[in-house]
Structure 1
Amino acid sequence: MPRWLIGAAAVFIVACTPAQEDSNKFVSGHTVVHEVFWGADHDTPYPFTTDGEISCVYYPDFGIEVYFEPFGYIEDSSIGTPLNKAAADALKRDGMEPNVPYSIKEGADLSEAVKVGLQVCLA
């Protein structure tokens, strides 16, 4: 088995860290997604044109926002592609637009990708 494949498998760590302050409770997390491994856990085809990360942000007042960031664009200044209505609404509300390359395959079913993002924040 190639070393990169072993390394990529080891990267599949899901993180979700709640804040301690209840008045402004905030949860975020992410999980790495890779086309090679997607089919093992999902029934729908891989929906992205590249590998990357599905992330979530939860604010009690706004709901769970789910985004996709391609590898190479996962940093604090990146604004991922919104995958659900809460994420799209949040970007619109804040006057922001995604600044990562558009990486959703045309006609892709995003239901499982959104489910992955929601599970990350609810774990």
Structure 2
Amino acid sequence: MRINMSRWLITLLALSIVSCTPVVQDENYGAGFVPVHEEFWGADNDTPYPFTASGEIGCSYHVEFGRGVFFAPMGFTDESYVGTPLNKAAANIIKVIGVTPNVPYSIKQGADLSEAREIGLKVCDEQRDMLEDGKNF
């Protein structure tokens, strides 16, 4: 159990690294990210920008909970930070591995996260497709 918990923690923290390289392990993989910024959000999205800072929407896959979507503000994307969970799977992932988000900026009060979650889920799908196709990053 202790070994698996370490793997989950490493994978979750790898989410925050500014990299497109997945971390492939037995039951999970770290996925890519999409940079987001308030000035550019309106060009591709219908809802107002939901975050209090610019950052990255990233994805992590968990064998039991599925695709977890996270937000990490710019400057807080390295492995020492745990991003803000944007969906139930992400909240369950961090709960199971026993960590809490430790980034100073996150979600605006009353924000609609539907498009942000969709962006993160799309990142997961694209990464999964690339892994299945055997493409290197």
Question: TM-score category by the smaller chain?
Answer: 0.7 to 0.9
> What is the alpha-carbon root mean square deviation over aligned residues?
1.8
For normalisation by structure 2, the TM-score amounts to: 0.72
Alignment of 1:35 onto 2:35:
no
Corresponding residue of 2:11: none
Corresponding residue of 1:101: 104
Amino acid at match of 1:17: P
SS of the residue corresponding to residue 31 of structure 2 reads: strand
Amino acid at match of 2:38: E
Aligned residues: 108
Instruction: Give 5+ residue unaligned stretches, structure 1.
Output: 1-13
SS of the residue corresponding to residue 89 of structure 1 reads: helix
- For the structure 1 residues 49 and 25, does the alpha-carbon distance in structure 2 shift closer, same or farther, using more than 3 Å as the test? closer
In the alignment, is the contact (CA less than 8 A) between 1:26 and 1:60 conserved in 2? Answer: no
SS of the residue corresponding to residue 119 of structure 1 reads: helix
Alignment of 1:115 onto 2:90:
no
In the alignment, is the contact (CA less than 8 A) between 2:53 and 2:105 conserved in 1? Answer: no
1:63-78 to 2 correspondences below 5 Å: 63-78=66-81
Which of these residues, 43, 51, 61, is aligned with residue 54 of structure 2? 51
How far apart, CA to CA, are the structure 1 residues paired with 2:31 and 2:73?
A: 18
Amino acid at match of 1:74: T
Instruction: Give 5+ residue unaligned stretches, structure 2.
Output: 1-18, 127-137
Shift of 1:93: 1.6
Q: Deviations over 1:55-84 (max 9, x none)?
A: 101133320111100011010110000000
For normalisation by structure 1, the TM-score amounts to: 0.79
Alignment of 1:17 onto 2:17:
no
Structure with more strand by fraction: 1
Corresponding residue of 2:86: 83
Q: Deviations over 1:13-32 (max 9, x none)?
A: x946373x6x5352411110
Counting aligned pairs with the same residue, the percent is 54
SS of the residue corresponding to residue 24 of structure 1 reads: coil
